[in-house]
Amino acid sequence: MPDMDVLLERLQKTVPALELRENEPMARHTTFRVGGPAALMALPKTEGEARLALREAAALGIEPFFLGNGSNLLVADEGYPGFVVKLAGRAFDDQREVNGQLWAGGAQKLSQLARAAWGRSLTGLEFAAGIPGTVGGAITMNAGAYGGEMAQVVAAVRVMDRAGNIEEVPNDGCDFAYRHSAFSGGERLILSARFALAPGDPAEIKARMDDLNARRKEKQPLEYPSAGSTFKRPAGHYAAALIDQCGLKGLRVGGAQVSEKHAGFVINTGGATCADILALMDRVRERVFRETGVTLEPEVRLLR
């Protein structure tokens, strides 16, 4: 990994208004609340700042990691020696109606966007009301819940590549699949997106959102830091059911635990390290494979 000091110096000179943080604790930026420091983090507040930051990194051969809300991310205890880019500011955390479609910046929280859709009597995003990610992160992994997913509602995505070039990608160019999109490889930064939603009755939209949120609260360990579902859904099975079937609820490694409330969640009960979580995930995968023959694949991404 090239020296971050060189990039820092170039960014300070080229983009003096850009917010830069050295050795930024990643535990502050993930819902697991674990992770060591990122060597350098940039928080662009405009597309211009983002473009210049990416071009300077590209000139040095540095590949940036694009960070959303960190709700599907596990960062190594020793940290990340590279360059992290996280959109910040009003330009990226906003939403509005454009030609009958709902537009949102890449840093807009998905839960806020779902409430905004309800406020505009637009239906289709109810499933997203309890998903803790950003618009950019949710599109990147085609996030979904309760039968809905981003692929069903995204009309187009505006992205910037590592050279600073911008293009708008229509839905059929997004390569959406289960927990996957054309942006999953991290080559392009999602700046904003447009959503194709249908007119709906606001009372019915609100009732649906309230119902789903009540079900989440009842069934999921929302009181603990986690990254949501730890494993992907295996073909023909449910990860939580397999883990429960193997008697693994409550299994612990250090501060990490398989939730007793929902077996699909690994939670941080307090003081968990990345190593604790990874070790627990390994134990769960080994046991489930030994007893059922099913291989669980992590849904959580590891950054190290």
- Do 56 and 122 lie in one domain? The reply is no
Q: Does the annotation mark 71 as catalytic?
A: no
One domain, residues 78 and 103: no
What is the per-residue pLDDT across 14-41, written as a single tens digit (0 to 9) for each? Answer: 999 999 999 999 999 999 999 999 999 9
Judge if 130 and 191 occupy the same domain: yes
Residue 24 appears among annotated catalytic residues? no
Out of 47, 49, 126, 299, the active site residue is 299
Say whether both 136 and 238 belong to one domain.
no
213 within some domain: no
Judge whether 179 counts as a catalytic residue. Answer: yes
CATH number at residue 286: 3.90.78.10
Residue appearing with tokens 């090239």: 2
Residue 149: give its domain's CATH number.
3.30.465.10
Q: What is the pLDDT of residue 98?
A: 83
Confidence of residue 4 (pLDDT cuts 50, 70, 90): very high
Q: Is residue 148 located within the same domain as residue 240?
A: no
Q: Do residue 130 and residue 184 come from a single domain?
A: yes
- Residue 162 placed within a domain: yes
Q: Is 167 inside any structural domain?
A: yes
In this prediction, residue 1 has a pLDDT band, given cuts at 50, 70 and 90, of very low
Secondary structure class of 239 (helix, strand, coil): helix
Q: Is the pTM of this model over 0.85?
A: yes
Classify residue 211: in a domain, yes or no.
no
Domain co-membership, 61 together with 161: no
Residue-wise pLDDT for 162-179, tens only, equals 999 999 999 999 999 999
Q: Are residues 75 and 99 in the same domain?
A: no
Backbone φ and ψ of 216, nearest 5°: -60, -45
In a domain, 216, yes or no: no
Q: Which of 115, 179, 194, 285 is labelled catalytic?
A: 179
Catalytic residue among 71, 192, 226, 229: 229
Which region holds residue 186: left if phi is over 0, alpha if psi is between -120 and 50, else beta?
A: left
Within-domain flag for 208: no
CA angle in degrees (0–180, nearest 5) for 292-293-296: 90
* CA 26/CA 74 separation, integer angstroms: 9
Number of structural domains (the chain) is 3
Give the CATH number, domain containing residue 47.
Answer: 3.30.43.10
Domain interval for residue 273: 221-303
Rounded to a whole number of angstroms, the distance between the first and last alpha carbons of the chain is 12
Residue-wise over 281-302: b if at least 16 C-beta within 10 A, else e?
beebbebbeeebeeebebbbbe
Q: Are residues 194 and 250 in the same domain?
A: no
Please indicate, yes or no, if residue 31 is contained in any of the structural domains. Answer: yes
